[in-house]
C-alpha cells in the first residue's frame, strides 16, 4: 500500500498513517476514542448453549463456499425440532425462497432460526469445530454461536446473529 515505511501520528483524536517519503502520497486517517470510552472485558463471555454438536471442516467450508459463489450474505443455523441445518441464503431479501442451500449437521429437539453475516464465517480457520448454540429462548432468532476447534480447543470464535429471519427464504429453510 505504501511505497516507503509509513509514518504514524496521533493528533486531535485521529490516527494518521502516511508515506514517509512521498509528498502528495497516500494518507490514511482514522478517528480514535479517548481511552476512558473504550470498554473491554476481563474474560470470555459465559454462554450456556442449548445444544452442541461437531461440525467437520468440509461441511462448514462447503456452505461458506455456497454463500460466496451464489453471492448470498448469510449463513444460517436452523433447528427444526428434529434436525439442525446449516444453510446459505439472503435472510433479509423477500425472494421466492429457492435460492441458497442447506444440509443437515446434527439432530436436536431444539427449535431456532439464526442468521449470521457470511463474512464473519469466512474468517474462521479451516478446522473441525465443536459448535455450541445459545439463544434467548425456544424458537428464537437472536443468539450466539461458539466454535471451539477439535480436538485441541486451541481456537475459539464467537459469532453473534443478525436480526431474526423472515420472508420466504427463511420459511423454505425450515
The CATH number that applies at residue 145 is 3.70.10.10
Distance CA 51, CA 8 (A): 46
Q: Are residues 70 and 110 in the same domain?
A: yes
Which grid coordinates belong to 35?
A: 481511552
Q: How confident is the model at residue 149 (pLDDT cuts 50, 70, 90)?
A: very high
95 inside domain: yes
User: Worst-scoring range by mean pLDDT, 42-51, 58-67, 162-171?
Assistant: 162-171
pLDDT tens digits along 153-168 = 889 988 888 754 444 4
Q: Are residues 31 and 88 in the same domain?
A: no
Distance CA 162, CA 17 (A): 33
Q: How confident is the model at residue 104 (pLDDT cuts 50, 70, 90)?
A: very high
Would you state the pLDDT for residue 107? 92
44 inside domain: no
Structural domain harbouring 128: 51-173
pLDDT tens digits along 20-45 = 776 767 788 888 877 677 677 677 66
Distance CA 109, CA 96 (A): 28
Q: Are residues 27 and 83 in the same domain?
A: no
Q: How confident is the model at residue 143 (pLDDT cuts 50, 70, 90)?
A: confident
42 inside domain: no
Q: What is the spatial order of strands in the sheet that 156-160 belongs to? A: 51-55, 129-135, 143-149, 156-160
The neighbouring-strand residues paired with 121 are none
Q: Which residue has the cell 512521498?
A: 22
Contact 56, 128 (CB under 8 A): yes
For the chain, how many structural domains are there in total?
A: 2
Amino acid at each position: 500500500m505504501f511505497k516507503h515505511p509509513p509514518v504514524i501520528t496521533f493528533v486531535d483524536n485521529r490516527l494518521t498513517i502516511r508515506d514517509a517519503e512521498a509528498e502528495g502520497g497516500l494518507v490514511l486517517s482514522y478517528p480514535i476514542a479517548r481511552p476512558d470510552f473504550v470498554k473491554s472485558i476481563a474474560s470470555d463471555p459465559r454462554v450456556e448453549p442449548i445444544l452442541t454438536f461437531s461440525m467437520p471442516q468440509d461441511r462448514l467450508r462447503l456452505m461458506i463456499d455456497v454463500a460466496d459463489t451464489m453471492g448470498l450474505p448469510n449463513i444460517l443455523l436452523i433447528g427444526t425440532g428434529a434436525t439442525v441445518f446449516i444453510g446459505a441464503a439472503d435472510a433479509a431479501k423477500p425472494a421466492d425462497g429457492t435460492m441458497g442451500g442447506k444440509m443437515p449437521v446434527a439432530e436436536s429437539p431444539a427449535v431456532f432460526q439464526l442468521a449470521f453475516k457470511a463474512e464473519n464465517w469466512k474468517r474462521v480457520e479451516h478446522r473441525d469445530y465443536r459448535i455450541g448454540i445459545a439463544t434467548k429462548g425456544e424458537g428464537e432468532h437472536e443468539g450466539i454461536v461458539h466454535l471451539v476447534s477439535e480436538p485441541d480447543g486451541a481456537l475459539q470464535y464467537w459469532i453473534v446473529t443478525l436480526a431474526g429471519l423472515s420472508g420466504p427464504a427463511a420459511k423454505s429453510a425450515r
